[in-house]
Structure 1
Amino acid sequence: METSNGTVLWQSFEHPSDTFLPGMRLTLDKKTGKNQLFTSWKSPSDPSEGNYSLGMDPSGSGQIFIWEGGLLKWRSGQWDGKTFIGTVMRSLNLYGFSLTDDVNIGMMYFTFTPANSSLLRFNLQYDGVENTSMLVPETKAWKSVWVQPVNECEIYGHCGINGICSMVGDSPTCSCLQGFEPKSGEEWSNGNWSSGCKRTTPFSCEMMNRTSSSNSSSGSQGKKDGFVRMGGLKLPDFSEWASVVRDPSGCESYCMSNCSCKAYVYNANLGCLVWSRELIDIYQFPSTGNGNDLFIKLADLDLGGSSNTWITIVIVSVIGLASLILVIYLWWKFNAKIKECWKKEVKQWDLFSSLQFSPEGRSEISGVVEQEGEEGKGVQLPLYTVEFIANVTDNFDESNKLGEGGFGIVYKGVLPGDELVAIKRLSRSSGQGLEQFKNEVLLIAKLQHRNLVRLLGCCIEGEEKMLIYEYMPNKSLDAFLFDPSKQAVLDWSKRFEIIKGIARGLLYLHRDSRLRIVHRDLKASNILLDQEMNPKISDFGMAKIFGGDQNEANTNRLVGTYGYMSPEYAMEGLFSVKSDVYSFGVLILEIVTGRRNNSFYHLENSPNIIGYVWPLWNEGRVMELIDQNIQSTCSAHQVLRCIHIGLLCVQDRVSERPDMSAVVLMLESGSAILQTPKQPTFVTERGPTETGAFSVNDLTVSIMSAR
């Protein structure tokens, strides 16, 4: 398009879509950084703008990049004046490209002129593949002659930093460069190479800089560090041109004298290239004759050489080991009492192979093993004696009493090494006996999650049964939530994090743990708080294991705390993971309001917290629900969302309650759309003989109820 006087206003070659033709320019304005990009189609039949683009490296290195969205997917490697050294180019297009760097106008651009009369086109496909095709005169059809990237190893940074990719058959394989090791051995062994590799031994110059304020001479560095050559490579990204160097030996000396230099290569057309950043996007070409030699700088130890440093390390290690053995011997000798105590009191215990119960107790455990199958095997815990537990609790002194629950009394203890623990002692009059004790040991010993309390050991001796847990300095959630003098400590941000932490713990129990577990007694007193007020779910005495494909179970023995029980469990004895969801919903409402579920007896038509919350939420009077201690600091949007989620969790129908994965998503994402809850059915408070279970002062009680 041009004006009447011949001035060109627009031409298609300067505004490309997905195709590059001979005669076109691929340009980069080095002054403004504006890059002329070729953009893929959205799909083979949709020419709208896709997710891939092709253009020159904005830094001016002369490389061609393909981006996926804003992420670099592929690069051509450096341009050496004849070819792109990071890819294998066919002879058909080897001599057609030309790079012009016009310093006067600040423009850099590639052009392509075919070597013969063949008609070529370069097309960026919808899937991010650059496809070069040639028109076949006989058939008048386009034939693909060159594509990039060819395989997964050519995907940018496939093996992370300091990793190298090679193709074995049709599969990419990553390995660390010599002198490097995986940053994460576990991820690496699982085929996740994105974290890359780290250097095993620092350069000698780095070691000297750490121990001396003066710089070491290059000569001393040269004796200790060296280079290893790797051939046939696609050179890593982020090279720097050492313009003062004129030959290969000068390039090596330049890199050796520079402590920040990690690798170098001398190319006849490019000159000396060095790398001061981590090495990334290295590909081992499968065929010989392709690629370049890369010289990687390593410490002497990683080159396989021997040095005084290695001898020094060995000597220091031997002296250190001898000193450690001496210290251990002296400690063992002069602390005979502690030594004998631990030797006698603590041993590894297999729950189902060496448990010393009475004959009656042993038969109960054996029955459980047969019922649970493989789930009960391999549970290993430290086993303590009653005498030892008595010593660490000052003979169960009243001053060490932390609290009391349905299981019995909980004491604080101090193990050798000043480790604080909480010791739960089964009361002989407790309604929770051997089965509940076994249940806690079986479940918690196998569970590992930051929002579940850790079981550290147990004690079984005669009629004494005790569990040793990690110590929670802030005790339980109800100690803060329902105490007017402590409620202000839990501001809204802490309460919201507690809600999310409990949700993540339940999700682990229901879906992500080795065992699929229903807690059945989730309530504020069973949520413990650590030093940073992080929540940890505790008390698994009532929990049940579900099989892999089991969704629901039935019981004629109701356990738990009334008010937290779901309707189907309280009335029919049916329980599932959705029973815990119901309890979690009640717990959310308690955390927001700062009031116990059973504190609404005096309110007309409000037998429980659900009956109190629903009408106010339904009438848009949410702020009246919020604990006064957090009203001025809370996020109204978050509070409203939490109440909304809580009401969804306490729906009467099991199918209308979300599972915990959906709950976590709703809590983590402030934009997820929530369904509208239906009005729950509020049942007037009934006595224990009607419900089959009740709780007095938060002590869980279970009784049999015929149905």
Structure 2
Amino acid sequence: MAASCVPIFIVLLFLSSFCKSDDDTLTQAKPLFSSDKLVSKGGDFALGFFSPTSSNTSLYLGVWYNTIPARTVVWVANRDSPIAASSSATLAITNSSDLVLSDAQGLASWATKTNIVAGGAGTAAVLLDTGNFVLRSPNGTYIWQSFDHPTDTLIPSMKFVASYGAQVVGRLIAWKSSDDPSSGDFSCGLDPTSPALQMLIRNGSKLYYRGVWNGATVSGGTYSSNDDSIVYQVNVGQGGEVSLTLNVSDGSPLTRIVLEHTGKLTSLSWINQSWVVIGSRPDAACGIYSSCGPFGYCDFTKAVPVCQCLDGFQPNGLDVSSGCRRTETLTCSKQSHFVALPGMKVPDKSLHIPNRSFDDCTAECNSDCSCTAYAYRSLSSVIARVSLPRCLVWKGELIDTGKYNGNTSFTAGTYPNLGENLYLRLADTNGIKAHIRSAGNRQNKGILKRQILGHFSSSSEITDKIIEFPFISFEDVVAATNNFSDSNQIGMGGFGKVYKGMIDGGKEVAIKRLSEGSRQDATRQHVLDWPTRFKIIKGVARGLLYLHQDSRLTIIHRDLKASNILLDTEMNPKISDFGMATIFGENQQQGNTARVAGTYGYMSPEYMMEGSFSVKSDTYSFGVLLLEIVSGLKISSAQLTMNYPSLTNFAWKLWEDGKACELVDSSIFETCPLHEVLRCIHVGLLCVEDHPNDRPLMSSVIFSLENESALLPSPKQPLYFAQINCKTKETRDYTENSMNTITITTLQGR
């Protein structure tokens, strides 16, 4: 009996191997039948026949994830011509090297068109580890691939060619319903006729949603969690080819972008045995195309996005849903000026003015009284490392505009800022706006400052309505400080003494400095626990956001450091010492100085080496400050070894080696939530990156700190500066600013 078992076992093993059909290749001699499937070599994807409903009335040929329990289909061949489930189905390679799907009667349900006369004997169809189903010629050339014919889904490594020149090449088309793969009403693709590089979702022929990428060669951004990253990349190739590619790093979860049957374009990752939504567009009712009407915008900075009117406009009716109208009529016979609106999704129906600098773009719109707005962006080419200027202008109504707070979901623009500056034309009124317009350029920065200070003292009404800064008279300052009494002095800044006092019915001006709490004693360990430090980090970030974006004026601090952060009795931080601050004009995004002034270690590379500064210079300083707060070390602390003379260099090395937790101050290490502290270190390293364009805006910094689910890019190694003589660490140029300036930081509001 035992002897007879041996040959039976061998026969069963042989039959099992012979009948197994779930390898990755299909040949002319080996077609695919209804009960068969192909499995990619890595085992991640399967191709075969499926029925999406329990009724099993129809068969579809598709590709799905093979390693997860819930069947998730990413590609369907015969979505609009299913085969009856009662009939057997066959996928075969013909003599003309085509794939043909047919039923039991031999009627073709779907076929490729390779236009090859002969050669089928050597042709093979292979399901690759990427999920791409390819038809391969005998010499290995791909003569057809499923990635070139997507249905409703994009997966990593798929190059989705959206347009070529002015022709739409590819579109995603949603399923008709969650269990019906046939072509639905919603489609998604790029608009090749728009200079703004727009992604459009249509409901039939009606425009449903418009997304704008604010980069050309590479856009979308890199998002990561620890060592896992997801890259959404828009590429503009030779000949005007525009394509979208989704890439992930090794170890990242399964990720896909799908156009749902509801019309939403959604990014999902397989986390903890379920599909988790990473981002979705549109994600608000007012995000649907033109929901806010002419000159209205969807304000995504709100917890619940709502329609708002652009600056200088008011609702046409009881709410903004019917659009907005100007509060001051704009005519060609009336003087006008431009206001900068940061973080905006630019409107639809723009005109592209080629080969223009920022100043040329401004002049182009300024010289045409019918021009209502313009936007300029220098688009970076990652391959060529060059700037590609893009000047957009608008005439007439502004439609489908939005305002963002730095959310970095997958349909965003170049990381980390979703929007860009929109310069809106408004009619002049009597007062400060016309003066700012006439003085808002780099050459007249000093005139602009003097005019604003003059308006502070001459018109409290204008100050309250336009400038949003409180006016405090010199007499009030003298009274609050008891005539600058030594008993009211709390410290010494780079431009003079710092005092505390009570003004305006009990507003406290300044209490103590963060640097005073840096001593390693029991008081510091108790007061500056992690919740307090995290509160300070977020408070300083919000203060910078106010200076850079939320204030009517763009203010660059230029000397952000620990000793310039004041804390009240509740440990709320306030940014102080604006002696080196610079106010940017309306159209200004960058400044330059021949005299570099600041504090060594906190100065950004472009400012230190070239005298160039912007809001990203303050971002760099904030990153240094953040790393100091987390570590308890100074930027060039004596506690660092000779191998790491800079805190930024030390932090980067620990991060690169996977030892970032060693940077955390030992006094808080045992009690702090490590994931929160590591996220702060991650953000800090992003802020101190070498190139300004790689650093996040403060809106994105705040969003990243307050949203643990937000994915972050992997930081790059910061530029290393050799330490200079300690006596020159504080390098201020006192001739650049007036010594007669009094700086006041109040503790109410930012």
TM-score of the superposed pair, with normalisation by structure 2: 0.37
TM-score scaled by length of structure 1 = 0.39
Asked which structure has the greater RCO (Cα within 8 Å, sep 6+), the reply is 2
Where is the helix percentage greater, Structure 1 or Structure 2? Answer: 1
CA radius of gyration, larger in: 1
